[in-house]
Amino acid sequence: MTIHGAFRIGLLGGLGVLTALLIGGAVITLASVLTYIGFALFLALGLDPIVRFLESKKLPRWLAIVTVISGVIGIVAGFVLAVVPVVVEQTTNLYNAVLRFLTSYDSLSDLVSAIQQVVPVETLNVQTTVEAIIAFVSDPANLANIGGGVLSVGFTFANAALGIFLTTMLTIYLVISLPRIKAAVYTMVPASRREKFGDLSEQVTRAVGQYVIGQGAQGLTNGVLSFIVLSLLGAHYPALFALIALMFSLIPLVGTITGSIIIVVTQLLVDPTNPYLALWMAIYYLVYLQIEAYVIGPMIMNRAVQVPGVVVIIAALAGGALMGVLGALVAIPVAASILIIVREVIVPAQNAR
């Protein structure tokens, strides 16, 4: 090899590495935008089966899309107008109840003693914990960090509101444009493989859509049943706790049990004089967890995405480790898509050898 040839190869290699670094930096910079687009596509695929169902009832596609989007906007608006004021009121009442509990003692030592009577000292030494908190707050440097953290939380809420707005707009656009987007993607595939690619893509999008609908139905079921049961038991703030149950149920695997623990523990803190109410709530959620684990969950997974249980666990853990809650949400339909590709492409290719 000549010196010029070695220099040319080294230059091309360096340019390749530099290009890879530039692409990686661009992806990192656009990570939030790509997340919005991916989540909007995820929701659009969940709404598409409803649009198709309305089309099968002889509705024009434009009317089916308008009906679905109007229904979603109506549900969100109804939720905001009916539930949010109740949740805000009950959150305020919860704050006042906790505040009254904290101020019902003459001194901090009395409060610490009362809490320590409920919590075993082997589990948590309340006095030591309170002293550590006081020492932390008393440090001016920590106060500055706390102020910066509060400001960061404010920016986080603002970014979250912007993300929700952008995701909503992108979802509406993708629902409208989904057939054209699919057709444009199909034209990029060679004509000899276009039919097979289209069939495979339809299977993947159908699996994702059915999973989104099933997961939403599971969360709604938990929220409604929680509101009914908590109201019948006479629990405090049933609307607030039902909303917590609904939101946490959307998280695969650990969402329902995490929300249930939060609800039971909070109820016990709100009304420590009535531990039997929290006990009955705990019993209800234990029963519901069994029903969800052995009836509702398998029904959704087997009929919607057809993913084995062990794959569901691995996918949810991997997605949660990589992208947090959002990763856990999308990991299962992604796993279902990979299994469809393996079943329809790789296995037949291996059998043909």
Strands (E), 116-272: none
- Pairwise CA distance, residues 327 & 332, whole Å: 9
- Pairwise CA distance, residues 61 & 46, whole Å: 16
| pTM metric for this prediction | 0.64
| Exposed / middle / buried, residue 189 (Cβ in 10 Å: 0-12, 13-18, 19+) | middle
Q: C-alpha angle 351/304/165, rounded to 5°?
A: 120
Per-residue pLDDT of the chain (353 residues; tens, 9 = 90+): 555 566 677 677 777 777 777 776 766 666 667 677 777 877 887 788 888 888 888 888 888 888 888 887 776 676 666 666 766 776 777 777 767 766 666 666 766 677 667 667 666 676 777 677 666 656 666 555 655 555 565 666 667 677 777 878 888 888 888 888 888 888 888 887 778 878 888 777 777 777 777 777 888 888 888 888 888 888 877 877 888 888 888 777 778 888 888 888 888 777 777 788 888 888 999 998 888 877 777 776 666 566 666 666 676 677 766 666 666 667 777 777 777 777 777 777 777 77
- Pairwise CA distance, residues 6 & 13, whole Å: 10
Q: From residue 247, give the alpha-carbon distance in Å to each of 1, 11, 198, 221, 222.
A: 64, 53, 35, 11, 9
| Angle in degrees, 0-180, between the axes of helices 255-270 and 84-103, rounded to the nearest 10 | 50
244-266: per-residue pLDDT in tens?
888 888 777 778 888 888 888 88
Reported residue count of the chain is 353
- Pairwise CA distance, residues 55 & 48, whole Å: 10
- Pairwise CA distance, residues 53 & 29, whole Å: 39
Phi-psi region of 236 (alpha: psi -120 to 50; beta: other; left: phi over 0): beta
Phi-psi region of 271 (alpha: psi -120 to 50; beta: other; left: phi over 0): beta
Element (DSSP H or E) covering residue 92: helix 84-103
Q: Kindly give, in sequence order, each residue whose CB lies less than 8 Å from that of residue 36, ignoring residues fewer than 6 positions away.
A: 163, 166, 167, 170
Closest listed residue to residue 50, CA positions, set 76, 62, 68: 68
Q: Kindly give, in sequence order, each residue whose CB lies less than 8 Å from that of residue 52, ignoring residues fewer than 6 positions away.
A: 64
